[in-house]
A and B are shown apart, each in its own frame.
Chain A
Amino acid sequence: MSDNRESTTTGEMPQALSWPERFRELATQARDERLKSFYEAGCVGPETPMKDVAFVGLDFETTGLDPNKHSIVSIGVVPFTLDRVQLGGARHWLVKPQLPLHQTSITIHGITHTDIDKAPDLDDVLGEVLGSLAGRIPVVHYRSIERPFLNVALKWRIGQEIEFPVIDTMAIEAHLHPDRQPNWWQKLRGQQPVSIRLTDSRLRYGLPHYPPHNALVDALASAELLMAQIQHHFSPETRIGDLWL
């Protein structure tokens, strides 16, 4: 999957440098101290076995799907390794979204307007957020949200972009189920397409149902899903370079 890279505008690595080298380079270029410390914490090399990697489950709730039009509403993180998720390190932030006028009455899952009014701007908590990601590989379900949204948010606030590798549990599911859509014969027999959504993917591994639409719970859900995927389809010795994107 390592060759399946997307465009540079989403914050992915633009060149053939390895991630540890790229981090060192970006650390020297960073003007914002918070961003600088993030890069200085470094990144593991692509040969590192999964069992030795520090991960962080990461999830954003946003006002929409387009990082250029929509905003981050909440952020959930939970640190983990392949054998343990540390609930004690779990964090959750509400941040004030930059809403266009016509969207001021939008309802965001379980979050009230009072909550939003009181919430800080992302800039106020950026140090804490980046601190919780530093030295860890973020694990997300569907990579086109967290990294691009954070990238755009930083561009607007500190005038610099951010790059980092992620593990996408949805991409792993997609890879495991290349023929998700039933063919005409299977359709005829009532076969349903294989869903790679977070909740449905978890069911395949005997993971419990969690109520959706909470950034922290979803971060935890992705973390648990990765642990299960590795035990079922990969190995603790699998190189992280084979899985990150």
Chain B
Amino acid sequence: MQAELIEIRNHLAQHSPFDEMPEETLDKIVSSIEVAYFRAGTEVLKFGESNAYLHYIRSGAVEMYRRSGELYNRLGEGEIFGQYGLLMSKTVRFPVTAIEDSLIYLIPDEIFQYLWQTDENFTDFVEVEDRSRLRSALSRREKSNQPMTARVTRLISREPVTAPNTVRLQEAARIMTEKGVSALLLMDESGDNARLSGIITDRDLRTRALSEALPSETPISEIMTDQLITTSSNSFIFEAMLTMLHNNVHHLPVMEGDRIRGVIALSDIVKHESQSSLYLVSNIYQQQDIKGLKRLSKEVPNTFVRMVREDANSHMIGSAMAGIGRSFSQRLLELGEEKLGPPPIPYCFMALGSMARDEQLVVTDQDNAMVLDDSFDPAQHDEYFLALAKFVSDGLAECGYAYCTGDIMATNQKWRQPLRVWKEYFADWTENPKAEALLNSNIFFDLDGIHGRTEYTEELKAFIAEKASNSQRFLAMLARNALNRTPPLGFFRTFVMEESGKQAKTINLKRRGTAPVSDLIRVHSLACGSKAQNTFNRLKAIGKTRLIPEDGVDNLRDAFEFIAIVRIRHQALAIEAGRQPDNNVRPEDLSPFERSHLKDAFQVVSQAQKFLKFRYNAQVGRNV
């Protein structure tokens, strides 16, 4: 290259995928460039024509179209086009027209092929399949993020310490002291093979035995926990952490099938990766009043930012934030019950929406409800539950979880009803679906019992799973609603591009990104009778059926993760800068990497929406 052409090299070097190339490679490219000029309105590439160049926009702007004539993309300075044809048949797949006077640098196929074979970053960037590009972008992140992908077995340092479940209290305590463990596994040895039947921890000994002054001869089976929560030996450390957060337990037996591999304790995980969210949760349970909880809630944004910095994925962050929110609710319910006395009849407090899906972020309001025992008598009991609901709701508001503007809270009498009424609600929604009504009740199809008789919620989940999968009309209606919010086409300069060609200044990544995905996945998930709530878990369940094409599941998972993590990072940046986090992102705040991969993700979502419409025969007029 003539050194005087450094100006051209510098321009390339400011734009992906050239920005990571060594100078020698850029010099080679510059020497090969042919410069062409296109007046606004002239065709740059005609469909089906042969093309032997990668096109780089030095100045101006172009539009790419689908074969159908639909707008596919609008590109400006520093962006490239023409690569699809080069990788496929050397013919133009997406015709291109200059929409402004444009100066284009043409990079010959020979150089393109050389870069494609020698420069991994370049290859990723121009890869034909948008999907695989998204995948490699995500996997590159995961690689740099080893601790998050470590398995629980790494934390097991000793053989499990067990005892028969027939031992007495004193004996159990002695074994634990002798072996220096904070949890003892209790085995049922009555059958041929010993079977894990319970666990007792230091804390249990304190709260259940000592404080009640139980005799040392008490059979351990009377005070042990027999509803065991375990984790599998191939689960990730972060999954174990989430299980602990979700269930508020500090010890988890690690199982390999029926065999016990060991026990991991909360302290093991904390040592392993300083997960501040766990400290926060255990602190929540130590607070004695709303004031203390409120003070602690100030820590939530910091915890969020720290997880983002540690490169946690969206599932981990969403679950941790939901776990924290759940803990605030649970502690408030405990405090409420202390203040108002024990509940007159059993009840279950339900979380709805993002908290139930384990997809909560920092900007969130409270969505909750109460399922009461069927013996509920309004005159006799409702005063208590209203007071409790109000206590919790006000407390949550104090802690930064804003009141739900749609009044979906247990303080609303409509959402504080006995189990049989809840079943009537769900039966009505699924059997006599009305689009309008369903729009407002969407949120009830993401539910999770967080306090009290959680089995009520489980019963509702099973009820919904059965009803929903059998009602084509309901699914069609839900699918129709899921198409109300569409992703944009992509970005152009500092604008968000719509399919209509219109441009906007910002994009709401929740409304136009994550929400459309969780909406459409909810439909498939209900159709296949799954009881999963989390979007990733729902996708797993869908993947086991033939409901959507095989690679559709992976593509959607990648798209959802990418949009979610960009949204999360955006909020973390706002918090760090001392601004109020929100969901509105300006294109100029996105890196070129994020912009191009977001566009890929939007395309996956858009296609998934088209499939949804076809699959459930959902007739809609699209509106954004």
Contacts and interface: CB of A to CB of B under 8 A. Distances in A.
A208 B34 contact: no
B39 A232 contact: yes
Given A208-B59, A224-B103, A231-B42, A87 B37 contact: no
A120 to B, nearest CB: 17
A80 B33 CA distance: 12
B36 A83 contact: yes
A213 B103 CA distance: 21
Contacts of B38: 231
Interface in A59-93: 76, 80, 83-88, 90-92
B103 A208 contact: yes
Interface stretch (A2-10, A138-146, A214-222): A214-222
A12 B58 CA distance: 36
A166 B406 CA distance: 75
A233 to B, nearest CB: 10
A207 B7 CA distance: 14
A214 B30 CA distance: 17
A156 interface: no
A76 B7 CA distance: 15
Instruction: Determine the interface band of chain B, counting residues with CB < 8 A from chain A.
Output: 20 to 34
Interface string B14-48: 00000000000000001111111111101000000
Nearest to B8: A87
A87, A88, A207: which has the most chain B beta carbons within 10 Å? A87
A240 interface: no
B100 A87 contact: no
B37 A216 contact: no
Interface string B56-86: 0011100000000000000000000000000
B2 A231 contact: no
B9 to A, nearest CB: 11
B596 interface: no
Contacts of A232: 39
Given A227-B37, A231-B42, A87 B59 contact: no
Given A216-B4, A216-B5, A231-B42, A87 B33 contact: yes
A211 interface: yes
A226 B384 CA distance: 85
A112 to B, nearest CB: 14
Nearest to A80: B35
Interface of A is mostly: mixed
Contacts of B382: none
A228 B36 CA distance: 9
A228 B39 contact: yes
B417 interface: no
A190 interface: no
Nearest to B60: A206
Contacts of A215: 4
Interface in B573-613: none
A91 B2 contact: yes
B32 A87 contact: yes
B101 interface: yes
Contact of A217 (B7, B37, B40): B7
B53 to A, nearest CB: 10
Contacts, number: 73
B109 to A, nearest CB: 15
Interface in A191-245: 205-208, 210-211, 214-217, 220, 223-224, 227-228, 231-232
Contacts of A92: 2-4
Interface string A43-60: 000000000000000000
Contacts of A228: 37, 39, 101
A228 B59 CA distance: 13
Contacts of B530: none
Contacts of B2: 90-92, 216
Given A228-B101, A232-B39, A87 B34 contact: yes
B578 to A, nearest CB: 37
Contacts of B32: 87-88
A90 B7 CA distance: 14
A217 B42 contact: no
A216 B30 CA distance: 14
A76 B102 CA distance: 24
A231 B32 CA distance: 24
Given A84-B106, A88-B31, A231 B7 contact: no
A84 B4 contact: no
Contacts of A90: 2, 4-5
A211 B35 contact: no
A208 B58 contact: yes
A207 B103 contact: yes
Interface in B546-575: none
B7 A210 contact: yes
B5 A224 contact: no
Q: Which of A83, A88, A206 has the most CB of B within 10 A?
A: A206
Interface of A: 76, 80, 83-88, 90-92, 205-208, 210-211, 214-217, 220, 223-224, 227-228, 231-232
Given A92-B2, A211-B7, A227-B37, 15 more contacts: A80-B35, A84-B35, A85-B36, A87-B35, A90-B4, A92-B3, A92-B4, A205-B37, A215-B4, A217-B4, A227-B36, A228-B39, A228-B101, A231-B42, A232-B39
25 contacts: A84-B34, A84-B106, A85-B35, A85-B36, A87-B31, A87-B34, A88-B31, A88-B32, A90-B4, A92-B3, A206-B40, A206-B60, A206-B100, A206-B101, A206-B102, A208-B11, A211-B7, A217-B7, A220-B5, A220-B35, A224-B103, A228-B101, A231-B37, A231-B38, A232-B39
Nearest 6 A/B pairs, CB to CB: A206-B101, A85-B35, A216-B4, A208-B59, A227-B37, A231-B39
